[in-house]
Structure 1
Amino acid sequence: MERFINPFSDVGFKRIFGQEDTKDLLIDFLNDLLVNERIITDITFMDKEILPVFKGFRGAIYDIYCTDSNGTNFIVEMQNGYQTYFRERALFYLSHIITRQGSAGGEWHFDVKAVYGVFFMNFRLNSIPHKLRTNVILADRETHEQFSDKLRFIFIELPSFTKQEDECDTNFDKWIYTLKNMEILKSIPFKDHKKVFKKLEKTVDLASLDTEERERYDESIKVYRDYVNTIDSAKKEGRKEGEENKQIEIARKMKAEGLSVGVIARLTDLSMDAIEKL
C-alpha cells in the first residue's frame, strides 16, 4: 500500500509544486536547481491560460507558470511520454512568454524579463550520451560565451538518474531521488538535512488528502496509469512487429539460398503460406 502520492500524476505534481500554501517547496527546488546562479525569495503563480494551447492528448503534460520577485518567468512541467517535436514545443512555449511581454504598452523598450523552462521528463531525450540534466542557453557558437541570459532551458531526464539514497551528494540529487522514488518510499528521506522536506512529507502523505482531494487524485492516477499502460503496450507491439520483420527478412534470405518452405517454417515460426508469398 502506497503512503505517498505519485508526483507523475497531474494532481500529485501540482500538489507539490503548484499550490500557494506550499510554494516554498517550489522555491526550494528552483534554488537547488539554480544553485550559484540565482536566488529566488518569492514567486507568484500566474494564470496558466497565458500559455499556448496545443490540441490533442494532454493527460500527461502538467504545467506550472510563475514569476519571481524580479519578474523572471518560470515554466515548470512534467512530461511522461516522448514527443517527436518536444524540443520545438519547449522553444515555442518560452518564446510565447517572451513575445507577450511586448504588449506592455508604448513605453516598453524591449526590457525583456528572463524566461526559464524546467522540463521534468519521464523518458530519455535521445541525446548521446544520456545525462540527467541538459542545460540550453543562447551562446556564441565559436567562443561559447553566453549571448543573452533571457532564454534558458533545463531538461531533467529522470530515467538517467540512478543514484541510491546514500549517493545523493547535492540538494538537487536529493530532490530528484525523492521525486523519482516517492510512490514506493515509506518515509521522506533527507529531512535532517533539508527542513523543507518535513513539509514535503506532510504535503504528499495520502492520509492528508480530504475526500474531495482523494477523489481527484484517484482519477488523476487512473489517467496516468492508463497512459503508461498505453505507452508500454505500444512499445511491446513495436518490439513484436520488429521481431516479425526480422524473421521475415531471415526467411527471405533462406528462401533465396534454396531452403525448403518446411525447413524455413520450422526455423522461423512463420507460416508456410506466409513464406510462400515472400
Structure 2
Amino acid sequence: MEMHEMPCGRFIDPLSDFGFKRIFGTEANKDILIDFLNVLFAGERHVADLTFNQNENNGQLSIFRKAVFDLCCTGADGEQFIIEVQRVKQEYFKDRCLYYSASLVRDQVTAEIANWKYDLKPVYLIGLMDFCFEDSLDGQYLHEIRLVNRSSGQVFYDKFGLTFIELPRFKKHVPELSTELDRWLYLLKNLTKFDQVPTFLSQPVFGKVFRIAEVCNLNEQEKMAWDAYLKAKWDNENSMEYAKKVATKEGREEGIKRNKRRKRGREIEDRS
C-alpha cells in the first residue's frame, strides 16, 4: 500500500505537530488561536490580534541554550504567548516550560537599549498535555500558575503565568459541556473520533477547525506529511507493544526459573 493510500479517520489529530500547527499556527487561521486564548484566559487578558514569531529563540548570549517552541506569538499589546504540546510524560517538563517562559522575559532587553526601566511585557505559557502530573488529582485538568503572595493569596505579579491543561483528566461528557472552554477541550481531546461535525460544536470557530482538520481538504504535500506522521505513530505504538510483550514473556520465564531454583533448594534441604 502506498503512503498516500493509508487509511485514517476523517479529521487530523490536533495534538500532533502537523495538526497543531495547521490548525493554530498559520496567519490565515490565527482567529482560531485568538478565540482559544481569550476563552482560556477568561477576562484575565483579552487578545485583540496576534503576530506569529519564530519558533527558535537563541538568546542574546551564546551561553544560553536554544529554546525551540511549538508555537510562539505576540499580542497586539506586546504580550507574548508560548503554546507547548506534550504527548508523552517528560521528567523535566515543568522545568522546560519555566525555562522557555523565562527566556522570553530575559530577551526583552538588548544591549542596544539605553536607560531601560524594566517595564516588562507579559509572558504566558500554555501547556497542552496528553499525560498527567503525578501530584494532580482526578478531575483537576486545569492548572493556572501565577506569582502570588503566600500570606494573602493575592496575585503579586500579573504579567507572568503558566497554564497547564491535562487532557486525560478532562472527562466531561456532552451534556456536561457548560462553557466555551469545556467545548474547546472536548474538541481537542476527541477531534479524531468524529465522523461528522456534531451540532453541539456548531459555533463558527469550531466549524472552521473542522474544515481545516478534514483530511480530504489537505493538499498532496500536506497529505503526505499527515500520512508520514500516522506511519511513525503506528510504528512507535507497535514497537512499544512488542517491547511490553517481550518484557512480560521474559519476566514470566524468569519467574518460572526462580520457582524451579527455590524448589530444588527445598529438596536439597529436605534430603540433608
Asked if the contact 2:55–2:69 (Cα under 8 Å) also holds between the matched residues in 1, the reply is: no
Q: TM-score, normalised by structure 1?
A: 0.79
- Residue in 2 aligned with 1:36? 43
How far the C-alpha of 1:222 sits from its partner, in A, is: 2.9
How far the C-alpha of 1:161 sits from its partner, in A, is: 1.0
Within 5 Å, give how 1:6-17 maps onto structure 2: 6-17=13-24
Please state if 1:110 is matched with 2:118.
yes
Please state if 1:4 is matched with 2:15.
no
Go from structure 1 to structure 2 and tell me whether the alpha carbon gap of 1:42 and 1:246 turns closer, same or farther (over 3 Å shift): farther
Unaligned ranges ≥5, structure 2: 1-7, 59-64
Report SS of the residue matched to 1:101.
coil
Please state if 1:45 is matched with 2:52.
yes
Go from structure 1 to structure 2 and tell me whether the alpha carbon gap of 1:81 and 1:229 turns closer, same or farther (over 3 Å shift): farther
- Matched to 1:174, the amino acid is R
- Matched to 2:137, the amino acid is P
- Matched to 1:133, the amino acid is L
Go from structure 1 to structure 2 and tell me whether the alpha carbon gap of 1:95 and 1:171 turns closer, same or farther (over 3 Å shift): same
| Mapped partners of 2:48, 2:235: distance in 1 | 38
Asked if the contact 1:133–1:157 (Cα under 8 Å) also holds between the matched residues in 2, the reply is: yes
- Matched to 1:144, the amino acid is G
Go from structure 1 to structure 2 and tell me whether the alpha carbon gap of 1:238 and 1:149 turns closer, same or farther (over 3 Å shift): farther
| Mapped partners of 2:86, 2:251: distance in 1 | 29
Q: Which of 175, 180, 183 is the matching residue for 2:192?
A: 183
| Mapped partners of 2:49, 2:119: distance in 1 | 21
Identity %: 34
- Residue in 1 aligned with 2:88? 81
- Matched to 2:157, the amino acid is S
Within 5 Å, give how 1:237-252 maps onto structure 2: 240=248
| Mapped partners of 2:116, 2:241: distance in 1 | 49
- Matched to 1:179, the amino acid is L
Please state if 1:69 is matched with 2:76.
yes
Go from structure 1 to structure 2 and tell me whether the alpha carbon gap of 1:82 and 1:69 turns closer, same or farther (over 3 Å shift): same
Q: Cα RMSD (Å) of the superposition? A: 3.0
Deviation digits for residues 161-205 of structure 1, max 9, x if unmatched? 11122221111110111111111102233343x221121111111
Go from structure 1 to structure 2 and tell me whether the alpha carbon gap of 1:210 and 1:11 turns closer, same or farther (over 3 Å shift): same
How far the C-alpha of 1:128 sits from its partner, in A, is: 3.1
Report SS of the residue matched to 2:78.
coil
| Mapped partners of 1:129, 1:242: distance in 2 | 34
Q: Which of 129, 142, 150 is the matching residue for 1:141?
A: 150
- Matched to 1:126, the amino acid is E
Deviation digits for residues 44-100 of structure 1, max 9, x if unmatched? 00011226636xxxxxx9701001101111001111111111111111110011000
Unaligned ranges ≥5, structure 1: 55-60, 262-278
Please state if 1:163 is matched with 2:172.
yes
| Mapped partners of 2:267, 2:149: distance in 1 | 63
| Mapped partners of 2:239, 2:231: distance in 1 | 12
- Matched to 1:158, the amino acid is L
How far the C-alpha of 1:135 sits from its partner, in A, is: 1.2
- Matched to 1:122, the amino acid is D
Go from structure 1 to structure 2 and tell me whether the alpha carbon gap of 1:208 and 1:237 turns closer, same or farther (over 3 Å shift): same
Asked if the contact 2:69–2:82 (Cα under 8 Å) also holds between the matched residues in 1, the reply is: no
Asked if the contact 1:62–1:77 (Cα under 8 Å) also holds between the matched residues in 2, the reply is: yes
